[in-house]
């Protein structure tokens, strides 16, 4: 049998009630929610009862999704499933750092709260938009981006999808440019142009915050969004870099497969990463765990 990887979802699929069932049925998961509430009062209540509008605000989304991600991961581990390596999409990477032992749960939660605060501030200071582009190769998408000012490929999700960040004034012309070469672009419901130079101020602020944060060596490999390889070298620089640089998800999955991973479990909210894994490598068994029935059905 090959290796098992755990991957942590990012923001975008959050919904009212997320994590409630897992919290009520797993002691390990409840401990994560209790930790979050002790540092940010009302986090559990926000996950369980807040409406979509409240949950979509970045300063709420990031700590709430982090909490659900890590709680579900702890429930999976509680079941006795051995995890060989981890990664996470965007903010999910911070949950992966906690699961790997690089940060304590408390330090990781505080880090993700600061990250959300800084990214929200940067998004308001430097307004931008994000587009999911389909039916074109990443090379074709890059070529078109180069023709527009302040436009960057930011999420290399799969062979069939790349996400682009740009300034507001470019959106309509950019959608038309992709359509002209038989591509399809859809605007994403996000509050900023994440993983791009639009977030440089947030990245600098996060680096300053981390001056007082101690990182440990990972107990299991953590694949970085920035390098698509396991964390090594300057851990803080990698956390900073992923805020203002592309997420190389396709390459992460390809590298995991080369390193012997044949099963990937997505934990947290939604099944976006599970779908991407299947498009990247159909030989990998990809499953998601989000609720109690998913957890009970998990067999690795």
Catalytic residues: 90, 195
Distance CA 176, CA 192 (A): 21
Contact 160, 279 (CB under 8 A): yes
Structure tokens given for 13: 């699929």
Distance CA 276, CA 291 (A): 20
Q: Which long-range contacts (CB under 8 A, 24 or more apart) does 251-257 make?
A: 251/156, 252/87, 252/223, 252/225, 252/228, 253/277, 253/280, 253/281, 253/284, 254/228, 254/280, 254/281, 255/223, 255/228, 255/229, 256/3, 256/5, 256/85, 256/87, 256/223, 256/284, 257/281, 257/283, 257/284
Distance CA 214, CA 212 (A): 7
* Selection from 89, 97, 161, 105 nearest residue 130 by Cα: 161
Distance CA 10, CA 24 (A): 23
Distance from chain centroid for Cα 272: 10
**Cα 185–165–50 angle (5° rounding)?**
90
Distance from chain centroid for Cα 58: 13
Distance CA 267, CA 155 (A): 19
């Amino acid at each position: 049998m090959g290796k098992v990887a755990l991957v942590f979802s990012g923001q975008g699929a959050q919904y009212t009630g997320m994590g409630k069932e897992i919290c009520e049925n797993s002691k390990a998961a409840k401990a994560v929610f209790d930790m979050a509430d002790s540092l940010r009062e009302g986090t559990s209540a926000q996950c369980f009862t807040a409406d979509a509008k409240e949950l979509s605000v970045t300063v709420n989304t990031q700590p709430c999704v982090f909490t659900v991600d890590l709680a579900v991961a702890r429930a999976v581990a509680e079941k006795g499933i051995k995890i060989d390596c981890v990664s996470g999409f965007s903010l999910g990477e911070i949950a992966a750092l906690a699961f790997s032992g690089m940060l304590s749960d408390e330090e990781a939660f505080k880090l993700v709260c600061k990250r959300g605060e800084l990214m929200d501030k940067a998004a308001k200071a430097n307004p931008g938009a994000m587009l999911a582009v389909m039916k074109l190769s990443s090379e074709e998408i890059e070529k078109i981006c180069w023709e527009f000012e302040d436009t960057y490929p930011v999420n290399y999700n799969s062979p069939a999808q790349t996400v682009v960040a740009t300034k507001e004034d470019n959106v309509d012309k950019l959608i038309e440019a992709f359509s002209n070469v038989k591509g399809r672009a859809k605007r994403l419901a996000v509050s900023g142009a994440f993983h791009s130079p639009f977030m440089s101020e947030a990245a600098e602020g996060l680096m300053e915050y981390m001056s007082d944060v101690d990182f440990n060596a990972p107990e299991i490999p953590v694949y970085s969004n920035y390098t698509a390889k396991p964390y090594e070298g300057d851990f803080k620089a990698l956390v900073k870099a992923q805020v203002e640089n592309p997420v190389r998800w396709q390459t992460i999955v390809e590298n995991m497969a080369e390193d012997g991973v044949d099963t990937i479990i997505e934990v947290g909210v939604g099944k976006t990463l599970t779908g991407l894994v299947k498009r990247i490598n159909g030989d990998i068994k990809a499953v998601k765990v989000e609720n109690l029935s998913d957890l009970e059905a998990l067999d690795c």
